[in-house]
Amino acid sequence: MIAVEYANLIKKLVTPAGFAAPARLTHDDIEARALTRADLADDVRGINASLELIRRTRGGGGGWPEEPVTEEYNFVDAVWHELEFRDGTSFTYAVYGPDGYLGCAYLYPMGRRTQLTPELMGYDVDVSFWVTPDGYERGYYEKLHAGLQRWLADEFPFWRPYWSNRELPG
């Protein structure tokens, strides 16, 4: 019998032929749109203002963020997310509310953010998200979670999401 080393595997996102992830999603007064370079300045400010909250709620999967990010660093990250969205290998959304940038939401293949185990093989997408401290105080963490639940049910072909945030709304 061959032993499988799950810790080194990434389970590809499986979508139907021709599936195109929505570039824009709405729920209540929030809008999530595919993260692009156009979100760079908002994203850098949001990340840097939210380091501790991201670590507490989303967790530091993959070691991110370890420190404040620069625009140069985050530009590469934004382009990488754009390419993955285009290719359908992961889907990252910048999230905005009526007062501006709120945070990000991620739909990753299993094993990319969370180390894969035999138990996690039954899930088809790793879902995580974060919001800024102001957004958190105003209830947008819970609202984004509810929006993600609805979007996963209505807009995506994933049937069993794994929520990898450390803190999830009750």
pLDDT in tens, 110-164: 999 999 999 999 999 999 999 999 999 999 999 999 999 999 999 999 999 999 9
Sheet arrangement for strand 24-27: 24-27, 30-34, 91-97, 100-108, 125-131, 161-163
Q: Specify whether the CB–CB gap between 128 and 106 falls below 8 A.
A: yes
Strand 30-34 relative to strand 91-97: parallel, antiparallel, unpaired?
antiparallel
Residue-range domains of the chain with CATH: 24-163 (3.40.630.30)
- Rounded Cα distance, 51 and 69, in Å: 10
Is residue 61 very low, low, confident or very high in pLDDT (cuts 50, 70, 90)? low
**Taking the complete model, does pTM exceed 0.85, yes or no?**
yes
Taking CA 163 as the corner, what is the angle to CA 159 and CA 167, rounded to the nearest 5 degrees? 155
Q: pLDDT tens across 23-59, in order?
A: 999 999 999 999 999 999 999 999 999 999 999 999 8
Predicted local distance difference test score (pLDDT) of residue 66: 85
